[in-house]
Chain A
Amino acid sequence: MSTDTIDDTDRTPTGGFAAEPVSKVGDRVFSGLSRGAGIIILVTLAGVAMFLVWNAMPALTASSKEIGPGGDEGNGKGFLSYVGTLAFGTVWAALLALLIAVPFGVAIALYISHYAPKRLSRTLGYVIDLLAAIPSVVYGLWGIFVLAPTMADHVYPWFSDHLGFVPMFSGKVLASGRSMATVALVLAVMILPIITAISREVFLQTPRLNEEAALALGATRWEMIRIAVLPYGKSGVISGAMLGLGRALGETMAVALILAPANVYSLKLFTSQNPNTIAANIALQFPESTGLEVNTLIATGLVLFAITLFVNLMSRRAARGNIF
């Protein structure tokens, strides 16, 4: 403040309004703090991107022989070939999980929002939220100890025997059940609560008027759902599915625990030849990695980041109703 303005203060009649001037310090400090916190978010995210790129650089610029299975010994085929099967496995496992989880997620959401008794519906909503918070390592343990042996003994052989002509179901069934099918099922169970929670929320938000209008036309409950609820909730279901897809892509421990990985491109569900996922590969390799191997793993993490970023972008668009 210049001296001029201070002099002014003395001369101008203020009629009591400036007699006890309100301190601006509190406002300045507090708005500065909250603004600073916002900037921390931007800096952090920039930091995430920068550190990943920085640490991935050596792997991206290294000669192709140094990267891949065999690593420093020099019989690798390069980063792109290394990350290729992993990226494929990541997307393949997540899509399979999504394919299983979405119909069930929508059905459960409908059950909770429109079929279950009102009292039960609140409790069920709570249980679903709780299931979303169960640590992934628990799902992983369950998958390897319970689901994999059960499916390998009772279900996969049946598919393989009777539907073996479908390429996906062909091949020799892995006796331990540590195959892509088990991974997809466990991932589906894991993302189901998220899809359900978001779908349920939008279904419950369907305007009562629309529902009652449909019922007043003599619609049955299912017709009312088809006419009023599903169209209204469509964008919510899509964004829930995208969110679930994002989770499935980044899911690490369940896959790391269950899958018996191989370095292949394969669509077969029950065999021992399963492409690994990026996240699981990092978790499995990282603790024993040094030097360029670490850089390579970080570079694959960067690829995973890019994939999930893309999916989240689509999910945001879906939530606003801009796609489909």
Chain B
Amino acid sequence: MTNENIAEHTVEPMSAADANTEHRITVRGLNIFYGKFRAVADVDMDIEPQSVTALIGPSGCGKSTFLRSLNRMHEVIDNATVEGTVQINGVDLYGPKIDPVQVRRKIGMVFQRPNPFPTMSIAENVLAGKRLNQRRIKKDEADQVIEQALRDSNLWEEVKDRLDAPGGGLSGGQQQRLCIARAIAVEPEVLLMDEPCSALDPISTLAIEQLMLQLRRKYTIVIVTHNMQQAARVSERTAFFNIEGTGKPGRLIEMDTTEVMFANPTQQATQDYVTGRFG
């Protein structure tokens, strides 16, 4: 990876033991349903900590649904249900004692379209997660959180003079980085990104991609993308999802290091997809 030196320059590496054992996400036999319709079938997957995992596949293959099931965001949609297990730190996210609200505090999410809260300033947006979850936060602590999160999302230099300006006034790329700052301000362990660049111009896309390369030392990142070059540029591992036809569930076809997936995948469908023959 060409940008690795930048990443190590700004982000402290975490201890290896911490990285490898605890925060791996283990998915076993995952089926996701909307009512009676099975959207995703039988997924087994291991997501390595402190790395970027890309989910690729044609539209409607269930990769976004799968991503949202990793922090139970798909439950926001009516009568969505899940079978199977998603474990992190050895805990099943779908266990009976687990509160989805708590899950989402540990596993943050960035969405396709930048969605800063329009009623809040830049600073308030960054603090939103903390403010809405805690009763009170001290002024100097708040300032520290704001600066750290904005620095980590490479936005600090651009907005430090107008922290009280509305978040909606920023450019699309800046708004998306603000959303990343907002997500990391609550100190999650995992960051899920659902096509975070699809609504952005190429320059903003580049900025976000560089940011991902920096953040992966600190967070486990899972990104859904339609852009195969992007998957190749930012991810260490890639998972390919596919769908047999409309009405059929999406399945995980193959998962490997990004190099293998793009150079010589074992499945013909993967080969076809990454070489642009369909999808």
Measured CB to CB, the residues of A under 8 A from B are 8-9, 12-18, 20-22
Q: Is B106 in contact with A18, judged by CB distance below 8 angstroms?
A: no
Does B120 make an interface contact (CB < 8 A)? no
Interface centre among B88, B89, B97, B98 (most CB of A within 10 A): B97
Find out whether the CB atom of A18 lies under 8 angstroms from the CB atom of B88.
Answer: no
Q: List 26 A-B contacts (CB under 8 A).
A: A9-B97, A12-B95, A12-B97, A13-B90, A13-B91, A14-B91, A14-B95, A14-B97, A14-B98, A15-B88, A15-B90, A15-B91, A16-B89, A16-B91, A17-B91, A17-B93, A17-B98, A17-B99, A17-B103, A17-B106, A18-B97, A18-B98, A18-B102, A21-B99, A21-B102, A22-B101
The complex places the Cα of A18 from the Cα of B98 at a distance, in Å, of 6
In the assembly, what is the distance between CA of A15 and CA of B102, in Å?
Answer: 11
Q: Which of A13, A15, A22 contacts B99 (CB 8 A)?
A: A22
Q: Which residue of chain A has the shortest Cβ distance to B93 in the bound complex?
A: A17
Chain A residue nearest to B95 (CB atoms) is A12
Q: A14 to B106: give the CA distance in the assembly, Å.
A: 12
Shortest CB distance B70–A (Å): 13
- How far is it, in angstroms, between the C-alpha of A13 and the C-alpha of B98 when the chains are bound? 11
Name B69-109 residues within 8 Å CB distance of A: 88-91, 93, 95, 97-99, 101-103, 106
- In the complex, chain B residues whose CB is within 8 Å of the CB of A16: 89, 91, 106
Q: Which residues of A contact B98 (CB under 8 A)?
A: 14, 17-18
Task: Give chain B residues whose Cβ lies under 8 Å from the Cβ of A9.
Answer: 97
Q: What's the least CB distance linking B22 to chain A, in Å? A: 8
Q: Quick check: B101 and A15 within 8 Å, CB to CB?
A: no
A17 to B97, CA, bound (A): 9
A-B pairs with beta carbons under 8 A, tally: 34
| Docked complex Cα distance between A217 and B98 (Å) | 62
Cross-chain contact A15 with B97 (CB below 8 angstroms): no
Which B residues have a C-beta under 8 Å from some C-beta of A? Answer: 88-91, 93, 95, 97-99, 101-103, 106
Query: Is the Cβ of A8 less than 8 Å from the Cβ of B97?
Result: yes
Bound Cα distance from A208 to B51, whole angstroms: 48
Residues of B within 8 A of A12 (CB): 95, 97
A21 to B95 alpha-carbon distance, docked (Å): 14
Instruction: Report A112 CB to chain B, min CB distance, Å.
Output: 30
Knowing that A14-B91, A18-B98 touch, tell me 15 more A-B residue pairs with CB under 8 angstroms: A8-B97, A12-B95, A12-B97, A13-B90, A13-B91, A14-B97, A15-B90, A16-B91, A16-B106, A17-B91, A17-B102, A17-B106, A18-B99, A18-B102, A21-B102
Task: Find chain A residues with CB under 8 A from B91 CB.
Answer: 13-17
Q: Which residues of A contact B102 (CB under 8 A)?
A: 17-18, 20-22
Could you tell me the distance in whole angstroms from the C-beta of B228 to the nearest C-beta in chain A? Answer: 34
Give the shortest distance, in Å, between B261 (CB) and chain A (any CB): 30
How far, in whole Å, are A9 and B96 apart by their CA atoms in the complex?
A: 10
**CA A18 to CA B103, docked complex, whole Å:** 9
**Considering only CB atoms, which chain A residue lies closest to B89 in the complex?**
A15
Measured CA separation A20–B187 after assembly (Å)? 15
Return the 9 tightest CB-CB contacts between A and B, nearest first. Answer: A15-B89, A15-B91, A22-B101, A17-B102, A22-B99, A17-B98, A18-B97, A22-B102, A14-B91
Bound together, the chains give a CA A15 to CA B95 distance in angstroms of 12
Taking CB atoms, residues of chain A closer than 8 Å to B90 are 13, 15
Docked CA distance A12–B97 (Å): 9
Inter-chain contacts of A21 with B (CB < 8 A): 99, 102
CA distance A15 to B190 in the complex (A): 14
B21 CB to closest chain A CB (Å) equals 12
Name B87's closest neighbour in chain A (CB-CB): A15
Contacts of A17 in B (CB 8 A): 91, 93, 98-99, 102-103, 106
For residue A18, which residues in chain B have a CB less than 8 angstroms away from its CB? 97-99, 102
For the complex formed, measure the closest distance between the CB of B158 and the CB atoms of chain A, giving whole angstroms. Answer: 34
* Closest A residue, CB atoms, query B98: A17
**CB proximity of B183 to chain A, nearest CB, Å:** 18
A14→B98 CA distance, assembly (Å)? 8
* Complex: A183 Cα to B203 Cα, angstroms: 68
Give Cα distance in the complex from A195 to B185, angstroms.
52
- Kindly state the separation between the CA atoms of A12 and B27 in the bound complex, as whole angstroms: 19
Q: Please, which residues of chain B bring their CB within 8 A of the CB of A20? A: 102
Q: How far is the CA of A17 from the CA of B101 in the complex (A)?
A: 9
